[in-house]
């Protein structure tokens, strides 16, 4: 099973079987309270995954016990500095404690996979997939966007333009230039983060960066040196 964690928008956690079955998922839409809720969300999904595991599964029916997690999928953004690092730190800490790998995932890839799967279920896919953009609020009158075009043979979204920032007033013109349909996204599914990771691991690929995709540098800066004290 894979534990998915994302804090690029709200806070989300999920446990997913490698074949895509979602055993547990929980989230908070609060864009600021990541550190306050991440522990409770992890406890919830790990406990639910354990009690909902099929009969005969290791530890099935043991309330509150950690699930048999084999990897942690970490949403790497794009996202704000403070919020994004909470989820990444949680993913790395859990993985370090269990001695399992962290699988980095571009958070927009998870949103794109969700859209593509919904379209496939609705029978809306064709041989010439439409280009679309995942667009998220980057605050400070900017949007973050990533452009996609269909799925590859491994069942992963094909990224045709890497994550970037655009002023809010310019985003429609930018996407028109890229010939991409706009898809505003207000939440990232941790289950989709985990599913992207599962498919990447099955294909022997690394699809996300090891470093966080911060929207911008933190506001704080390093000191230029000790200040002189007057006498």
Rounded mean pLDDT, 6-30: 94
Rounded mean pLDDT, 37-58: 77
Residues 95, 2 contacting (CB under 8 angstroms): no
pLDDT at 33: 86
Q: How many domains does the chain have?
A: 1
CA 127-202-152 angle, to 5 degrees, is 15
pLDDT in tens, 118-135: 999 988 766 678 999 999
pTM metric for this prediction: 0.87
pLDDT at 122: 87
Cis amide leading into 156 (omega within 30): no
pLDDT at 201: 96
pLDDT at 220: 43
pLDDT at 55: 40
Residue 183 lies in a domain: yes
pLDDT at 58: 47
The mean of the pLDDT values for the chain is 88
pLDDT of 224 > 60? The answer is: no
Rounded mean pLDDT, 204-228: 72
d(CA 23, CA 52): 7
Residue 224 lies in a domain: no
Residue 8 lies in a domain: yes
pLDDT in tens, 66-122: 548 999 999 999 999 989 999 999 999 999 999 999 999 999 999 999 999 999 998
Can you tell me whether residue 129 is helix, strand or coil? Answer: coil
d(CA 137, CA 145): 9
pLDDT in tens, 134-186: 999 998 899 999 999 999 999 999 999 999 999 999 999 999 999 999 999 99
Give the HSE-up count for residue 3: Cα atoms under 13 Å, Cβ half-sphere: 31
Residue 226 lies in a domain: no
Residue 100 burial (CB < 10 Å; 0-12/13-18/19+)? middle
Residue 211 lies in a domain: no
The set of residues, in sequence order, having a beta carbon less than 8 Å from that of 112 and lying 6+ positions away, is 132, 134, 146, 148, 157, 159
The CATH number linked to 192 is 3.30.420.40
Give the residue numbers spanning the domain of 94: 2-203
């Amino acid at each position: 099973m894979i534990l998915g964690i994302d804090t690029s928008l709200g806070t989300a956690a999920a446990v997913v079987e490698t074949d895509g079955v979602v055993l547990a998922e929980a989230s908070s839409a609060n864009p600021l309270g990541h550190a306050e809720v991440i522990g409770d969300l992890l406890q919830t999904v790990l406990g639910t995954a354990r009690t909902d595991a099929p009969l005969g599964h290791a530890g099935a029916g043991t309330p509150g016990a950690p699930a048999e997690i084999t990897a942690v999928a970490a949403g790497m953004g794009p996202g704000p500095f403070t919020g994004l690092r909470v989820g990444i730190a949680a993913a790395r800490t859990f993985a370090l404690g269990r001695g399992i790998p962290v699988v980095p995932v571009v958070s927009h890839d998870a949103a794109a996979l969700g859209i593509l799967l919904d379209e496939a279920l609705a029978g809306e896919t064709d041989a010439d997939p439409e280009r679309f953009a995942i667009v998220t609020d980057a605050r400070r009158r900017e949007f973050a966007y990533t452009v996609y075009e269909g799925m590859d043979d491994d069942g992963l979204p094909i990224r045709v333009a890497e994550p970037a920032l655009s002023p809010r007033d310019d985003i429609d013109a930018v996407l028109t230039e890229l010939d991409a349909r706009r898809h505003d996204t207000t939440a990232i599914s941790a289950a989709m983060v985990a599913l992207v990771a599962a498919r990447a691991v099955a294909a022997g690929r690394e699809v996300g960066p090891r470093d966080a995709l911060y929207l911008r540098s933190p506001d704080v800066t390093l000191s230029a040196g000790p200040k002189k004290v007057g006498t």
